[in-house]
Structure 1
Amino acid sequence: MTNGHGDPPGGGHREERRAGHDGPEHERPEHESGLTVLLALAANLGIAIAKIVAAVATGSASMAAEAAHSIADTFNEVLLMVGLRRSGRPADRRHPLGYGKERYIWTLLVAVAIFGMGALFAFYQGFQTLTGHRGGEADPLAGYCVLAVSFVLEGISWRQALRQVRGAARDERLPLAAYIRRTDEPTAISVLLEDSAALIGLLLAFAGLGLHQLTGAAAWDGVGSVLIGVLLTAVALVLGRINLNLLIGNQADPRVVADVRDRLGAAPEVDWVVDIVTMTVGADRVLVCARLDFRDALTAGDVERACVRMARELRAAHEEIDEVFLEPVPRDDPELRERVIARYGRTLRPREPGSG
């Protein structure tokens, strides 16, 4: 089995490949993700301090829940920054495919923190108020002022995150919702979901505070806090699901997989594409493994040269392809056939020209 470089797996051409990723075009998404996280960190830190003061001044359960939400978000931005830094380390002997997946672990911790630090505290504050275990509230004017300022600051952070995610979706030629489901870069998605939840949570806190003031019933404030908890739980579940799939090992973009299959099948040395396995191993990093039935008339040298050429062509066509492993196999091997059918439900047949 060859890794497509003409070297054994983990061979010396990895440095050359990684250097090809270190240009300005590759660093731009990383730089923009860092900017998005830093902006969110600065906004959330200021907002958290203001909300804590307002929560103490007003005694509002909704405001206390929002303060916990902002504290959790501030902590989360630190986790995201750590994930960005650690996942960008170069591959080494112990981790020959790099550290890209470490980003998903840190982002999964963000989902846990959103629920553990934000949602649970919001539920606690809400139920305390609904069961009459909180004291009377002071003038809510400070709360209104903090909510208004927080909305502006969160809006600035949200706009940056939305701009980055929309730009990435446009580059991938995908609708925004489809990009969020398929992305292998969850950092900006995390900030966007956090900030979206923060803006909705601010509206809920404002409603709870306002209805309490208008009706004199503290239950409204408690309901607002509980709804904030529900909102944060939903965000934590969505974010957790995205990162769980990435940690398990997602297939590459189906369009990339189809193009890889077509390119390999069109190679003059290849008789049949027996199997293709792709896996996302980090942001914009894809591993491609393929089993190919080569023409019987080829020599061992012909097969080696063909593998090197095809791997080079695949990496040139898709910059996210990081490593390529090609294995010569007979297409009529029954065990291989069973494995392919178990994975895909059918054997991989060459696609007709122009077919989808």
Structure 2
Amino acid sequence: MGDKSGESLGTVLVAGAANLAIALAKLVAGLIGGSAAMLSEAAHSAADTVTELLLLVAVRRSGRPADRRHPFGHGKAGFFWAMMAAVATLVGGAGFSVTHGLHEISHGEELSNLTPSYIVLAVSFVIEGISFTKALTQLRGEAERHRVGPLRLVRITSDTALKAVLFEDAAALAGLLIAAAGLLGSQLTGSALWDGAASVAIGLLLLVVALTLIRSNLSLLIGQAAPQQTEVGIRAVLLAQPEVEDVVELLTMMIGPGEILVAAKIDFRDEASAAGVEIACEEVDRRLRECFPGVSQVFLDPTPTVRR
């Protein structure tokens, strides 16, 4: 858990530093050229910077050890702060971009020197690409450890910091291309419509990303189960124990980034003694933690199967 948190923390710090530098450069270029798309991109990067700060809080808070008041740890604090980060993207980035773009479409503003904007867009694309590559490298490493494809892992991962950085960096790269297309369209046609439309498109892109992340974090906050493939593996480990007759009920819950709570009602074989059941429970606990490093809490309840 410590190594994984450290890796996610590094990914967040790289993304945050990149977004802060990019936001300032886009703001200057946007003011010089009078481009709504560039100012929207500046708001986008500023919102992403706030997002990274909140993700930094998420990583730090979720890594705090368990205490008397929080016996299962503080993992879910990471889900909460990651959701707040998504809300910041929704309000700060998407809201500004859409409203500013619509204002330019309706009123029209004359664009001036766009050369700084093109330079900033190109440099920003390189910087965002570096940040995205780091996040993608971490994703691929985790996918190899979990033996699943990167695309599947990004859908099911409870590492909210990594997921947020991946989504936001991908949106940033797409937003840069949209802004460049808007600037070029306005420059070739002499109409601010293209620039305003690009600003609105950037806002809608951020809206989709923010709502996706909010939905994902909300699901984790209210008690999302472990991925189905993991549950199947856990059930197989339980049934492989010689003293186990059947798994009456299996419940799992993500209690933090990469942390899984397992609760199961187990029907033990009738011939198993009380001491044998205790030993079997200890063995199952050990094997589950060994096979699934994310399993941090295991509760087994001996329960006979009700036969009708």
Give the superposition deviation at 1:236: 0.9
Further displaced range: 82-91 or 184-193:
184-193
1:296 and 2:270 aligned: yes
Give the superposition deviation at 1:333: 7.3
Partners of 1:178 and 1:236 in 2: how far apart? Answer: 20
Higher helix share: 2
Amino acid aligned to 1:99: H
Matches within 5 A, 1:96-115: 96-115=71-90
Q: What's 1:195 paired with?
A: 169
Q: What's 2:303 paired with?
A: 329
Give the superposition deviation at 1:82: 0.6
Partners of 1:45 and 1:204 in 2: how far apart? Answer: 20
Partners of 2:242 and 2:195 in 1: how far apart? Answer: 71
Give the alignment partner of residue 60 of structure 1, picking from 24, 29, 35. Answer: 35
Q: What's 1:159 paired with?
A: 133
Further displaced range: 252-261 or 155-164:
252-261
Matches within 5 A, 1:38-49: 38-49=13-24
Partners of 2:283 and 2:30 in 1: how far apart? Answer: 64
Matches within 5 A, 1:83-162: 83-132=58-107, 134-162=108-136
Structure 2: stretches of 5+ with no match in the other structure = none
1:199-222 C-alpha deviation (Å, 9 max, x unpaired)? 111111111111111111111111
TM-score, length-scaled by structure 1: 0.83
Further displaced range: 164-173 or 102-111:
164-173
Give the alignment partner of residue 311 of structure 1, picking from 285, 292, 306. Answer: 285
Classify 1:333/1:96 alpha carbon distance in 2 versus 1 (closer, same or farther; 3 Å). farther
Contact 2:157 / 2:258 at 8 angstroms: preserved in 1?
no
How many residue pairs are counted as aligned between the two chains? 308
1:267 and 2:245 aligned: no
Q: What's 1:338 paired with?
A: none
Give the superposition deviation at 1:264: 1.9
1:92-117 C-alpha deviation (Å, 9 max, x unpaired)? 11111111111111111121111100
| Percent sequence identity over aligned pairs | 48
Q: What's 2:48 paired with?
A: 73
Report the aligned-residue RMSD. Answer: 1.6
Partners of 2:125 and 2:78 in 1: how far apart? Answer: 29
Structure 1: stretches of 5+ with no match in the other structure = 1-25, 335-356
TM-score, length-scaled by structure 2: 0.95
Contact 2:44 / 2:93 at 8 angstroms: preserved in 1?
yes
Classify 1:175/1:306 alpha carbon distance in 2 versus 1 (closer, same or farther; 3 Å). closer
